[in-house]
Amino acid sequence: MTAGPLTLADVRDLHQRWLAGAEFDIGYPNAVDFDVSTLLRLFDVTLNNVGHPFAATTGFSGHTLGLEQQLIRELGAMFRCPPDLVTGFVTSGSTAAVKAALLQARRRFRRRVVVYASTAAHTCVAKAADELCMRLQLVPAGLDGVMDVAALTELVAQRPAGAAVVVVATIGTTIVEAVDAVPAIHAALDAAGVPADRRWVHADAALAGIPLATLDPADRPRFDFAADVDSLNISGHKFLGVPTPCGAVVLRADRCPAQDQTTTYTGAPDLTPAGSRSGHTPLLMLAALHSFGAEGLRMRAEQCRRNAAELVDLFAAADVPAWRHQLGFTVVIPAPSPQLQARWPLPVVGEWGHVICMPGKPFHWYERFAAEYVADRNAAGQHPPAPHVPGQRVVADADHEEAIAC
């Protein structure tokens, strides 16, 4: 590529290069089937959603705050939040969404609070807790990646006297797509003697929230507002396939503390942690939801589950101990060799890695990987790895002795 401004030829080359690389990105949870072409017309106007989508705004007209509010209401309905209690906003991604929810909890409990998440939770929980000076306690996850709720009860029972409790439930963990059980988390908090008004349960549903919400209520794991979460987030660039990172946090308004009333230059109350925010990403997410439609979303999720099941069968036929959670898109496999990882950039934790069957990624991409993987494994005569042990280390309590308030 030449230096200086991009020419059309440069753009074409970059596009070709990214397209060619896409079929090796089967370890990352980005759907690739959302057609943005009808929205391209909107990329020559400035759209800046400064302020809050649920607050009145005046002045600057280049925003999509009304559509952002509609998106949050539709997500609220999908995740069974009472319609008169839904609030929230679009963020730059799930990391920012999780942090925004933790900030609300921190304000509500006036910083006397401990955050609990499992060792298999996304690293953004630790990052957000650190940035917000909130004490974090990691709870062991089982070999299946699900939070050990008996351990949660024990750890919560040891919290400093009077501390409120925030639990981040992960709805689709990063490596194995495990789903924490929200009713079991509430039961664990009951057992540890946490009053209902001294707890906040957040569902980090970045990847799996929307696909699981397409299931009939009877088949759906219980993770949403109907299971009494206080807040929930999703990413827009994962299952929805929005081509730029974005996310959304949905909150129960009655659980949020009174808001900071700083006013922006446009006259809108500045209720979101960011200042200027994208006006395009709410549009892209709303357009994705509407263009697929409820039935389309359901069929895409079904197709991914079928692909994942078929891929497990392919591996099993070659004696590879691959496995998946029944409702997940993620196929967990012994970590590929370094040579194979150089060609296929899959996430690997310890001795395990995964591929994720995502919408728009054709099955033959996965078949090709499986064939190369099996050939490589047979050539190396590999042995089965030790059982998968989820992610992060459990932080010893003493590490956070002083961190309850800052």
**333 strand-pairing partners:** 353
358 binds ligand PLP (CB under 6 A): no
Quote the CA–CA distance of 203 and 189 in Å, as a whole number.
Answer: 15
CA distance 261 to 229: 26
138, β-bridge pairs: 117
Q: Are 247 and 92 in contact (CB under 8 A)?
A: yes
What is the DSSP-derived secondary structure letter of residue 41?
G
Residues 235-264 contacting ligand PLP, CB under 6 A? 235, 245, 247
Q: Toward ligand PLP, which CB reaches closer, 94 or 153?
A: 94
DSSP 306: H
C-alpha dihedral over 387, 379, 354, 356, to 10 degrees? Answer: -150
Least distance from ligand PLP to the Cβ atom of residue 151, Å: 20
Under rule CB under 6 A, residue 124 binds ligand PLP:
yes
Site stretch for ligand PLP (CB under 6 A), options 51-59, 91-99, 350-358, 379-387: 91-99
- Contact segment (CB under 6 A) with ligand PLP among 44-52, 103-111, 188-196, 203-211 equals 203-211
**Alpha-carbon separation of residue 215 from 110, 337, 339, 357 (angstroms):** 38, 36, 39, 18
Q: Which two tokens stand for residue 128?
A: 């957000």
122 vs 305 by CB, closer to ligand PLP: 122
Residue nearest to ligand PLP (CB): 93
By CB under 6 A, tell whether 206 contacts ligand PLP. Answer: yes
Say how many C-beta atoms besides its own lie within 10 A of residue 74's C-beta.
16
Number of chain positions touching ligand PLP (CB under 6 A): 14
- Decide if residue 207 touches ligand PLP (CB under 6 A): yes
Smallest separation, CB 206 to ligand PLP (Å): 3
Can you give the binding site for ligand PLP, defined by CB under 6 A?
A: 93-95, 122, 124, 170, 172, 174, 204, 206-207, 235, 245, 247
